A and B are shown apart, each in its own frame.
Chain A
Amino acid sequence: MTQILTTRMEAHPSDSHTLGRYEDTGGYAVLRTALAGMQPDAIVAEVKASNLRGRGGANFPCGVKWGFLAPSRPRYLVINGDESEPGTFKDRQLLERDPHQLIEGIILSAYALGVHHAFIYIRGEYPRPARRVQRAVEEAYGAGYLGRDILGSGFDLEVTVHLGAGAYICGEETALLNSLEGRRGEPRIKPPFPAVEGLYAKPTIVNNVETISNIPWIVGNGGAAYDAIGPEGSRGTRMFSLSGHVNQPGNYEVVMGMTWRDFIYGYGGGIRHGNALKAWIPGGASAPWFVEEHLDTPLTIDDVAKNRSMLGSGAVVVMDETTCMVKAALRVVRFFAHESCGQCTPCREGATWLQQVLTRIEAGAGRDIDLDLLLDISDNISPGLAWPPAMTTICPLGPSAVSPITSIATYFKDEVAAHVHGGGCPLG
């Protein structure tokens, strides 16, 4: 079983986060080699060759993103540790249990990209991971891995750990940059993309924690070695956060390509109490739901996309037969309505309206026309209800609120109708 990210924390649960253990297990060796003998472009080439795709949700190829970096200076690298997508807790583990792996990845990436100041943006509700990372950063400064003239290479890098303060939208990279600039965390209009105009309007690369945690392995073993793992389009290993009605929730680092059945019933140990599976969210709360018919779909980025959903942030939330689909959908919509930044009209007004209508249906005050109304409101946020979604909004948060609506409308229409006609939930 190939493991890249979680080897150390599994082998050394008591101290995998410390500099001593990191160095003992080969940590920072890649950095030494790279700074001594690799040109920055060579690192970029390895990352491109690896076909590593971003692990934050959009799954955009990392090397391609790096290739967009505009030439002007200064430039910045920002690590997106604002993990907030419901169901997702993988970056928390990487931050807490192996922060030096991330830091080494940051240094290698910064060197490759000509960056001299990197930021690690960690969500505010993660003080413990932030403490671990902050301490690791201090250890790295003390050992000469950060600061001026790193390991005598002449390369300088400052790293600042920045805490969010409770706003899911800051996981969207341009909202994150606004937040890091001390502004309201409202997404920016793109283009310009951050690689051209990012932090302080300077060229900026924003990468997810898991993405950058892969960089030491890729540079150490070569991009080709990474590209040899897993199916095409879903190379490497990937952290999945499994939660909900499974017997064995948790984070799993897996090679993609297995079926959903293997993942949920194998890694997840099946459904609690031997209950039947009703639905699952395959890639975080933004993703349209899957149902039994998808169990034998391969767990790859492209296969999930072909089935009109996404692997997103790698969060799998499993719901068993006892789950009220209206209540589950409402809970997800409530999240997006709460987290809408409020700057653009369809998301600000539409997500709340969806929540209001669903609330009424759940409470037994639904009308026959309400499902059509929900779908039409959704259509005004995400025209055509297509996949990948079109949008009338600035960022994808609005369409995210639509996913649970289209999911219940597609698979659980009768259950919605039963709410309307039965004055509430038929499941009691």
Chain B
Amino acid sequence: MTWDRRTEDRAAAIVGRYPEKRSAVMPLLYLAMAEDGYLSEDGMRRVAQLTGLSNAQVQGVASFYTMYKRDGVGEYLVSVCTSISCMLLGGDDVLDAVAAETGVADGETGEDGLFSVEHGECIGACGGAPALQVNYELIEGVTPDHGRALCRWLAENRPAVVRGDDLQERFGGRRSFDWGPVEAGGATGAVPAFGPLGTAGEGS
């Protein structure tokens, strides 16, 4: 199996950024996820070919990290932080609200494939707790009501690109610090939006 020309070119560029090609495994796994919407077995096989590893080795790496989703994942992955700082300020209630609104329990994906819901461990937004991420785009200062409204809005508007700045404006509250100017970048799936991976995020 190979990807289309454009993706293969990106893959080759990623491999080229490292002194040893094995180092490209992690970004290539993101690339594979962006291709298929989740990390498929075929995706892992291609990463193995590109890095000279066995499929089992690639699976070993992929399964170590929580962000490589080897089972199908919803269009919107809502990760609600429930680590200590967010817990202290009501993160558990936000998680309950999100689960109730979406009808998707913690750790599950809805049958319609729209939402996946998970409790996250600390996402580095403790000063703006409680916080959550949608496709790893951060929203801080979220109340249970905000969480419900956010999920409703996503379900109704189905944005193709999830922009953290936009969602923060609409549904967020206190921030850990001043974020500075609004960014255009955002995520197109349950993969962190980071330019070199070929996912959205090249915005200003």
Contacts and interface: CB of A to CB of B under 8 A. Distances in A.
Contacts of B85: 86-87, 243-244, 317
A123 B87 CA distance: 21
B27 to A, nearest CB: 7
B31 to A, nearest CB: 11
A123 B174 CA distance: 22
A284 to B, nearest CB: 10
A25 interface: no
A297 B136 CA distance: 39
B127 A16 contact: no
A84 interface: yes
B192 A89 contact: no
Nearest to A134: B195
A363 to B, nearest CB: 15
Contacts of B195: 131, 134-135
Interface string B60-79: 11001111100000000001
A30 interface: no
A124 B192 contact: yes
Interface residues on A, range: 35 or more
A125 interface: yes
Interface string B152-184: 000000000000100000000010111111010
A130 interface: yes
Contacts of A250: 127, 176-177
B115 interface: no
Given A166-B66, A182-B61, 5 more contacts: A14-B181, A83-B124, A131-B185, A182-B51, A184-B61
B194 A134 contact: yes
B25 to A, nearest CB: 3
A13 B180 CA distance: 5
B190 to A, nearest CB: 11
A35 interface: no
18 contacts: A15-B180, A15-B181, A16-B180, A89-B127, A89-B177, A92-B176, A124-B192, A163-B197, A167-B66, A179-B26, A182-B24, A182-B61, A241-B176, A242-B127, A243-B129, A245-B89, A249-B126, A328-B84
Nearest to A15: B181
Interface in B53-106: 53, 60-61, 64-68, 79, 82-85, 87-89
B20 A200 contact: yes
Given A87-B126, A88-B126, A164-B65, A249 B180 contact: no
Nearest to A89: B124
B6 interface: no
A126 B177 contact: no
B23 interface: yes
B145 interface: no
B150 interface: no
Nearest to B20: A200
Contacts of A352: none
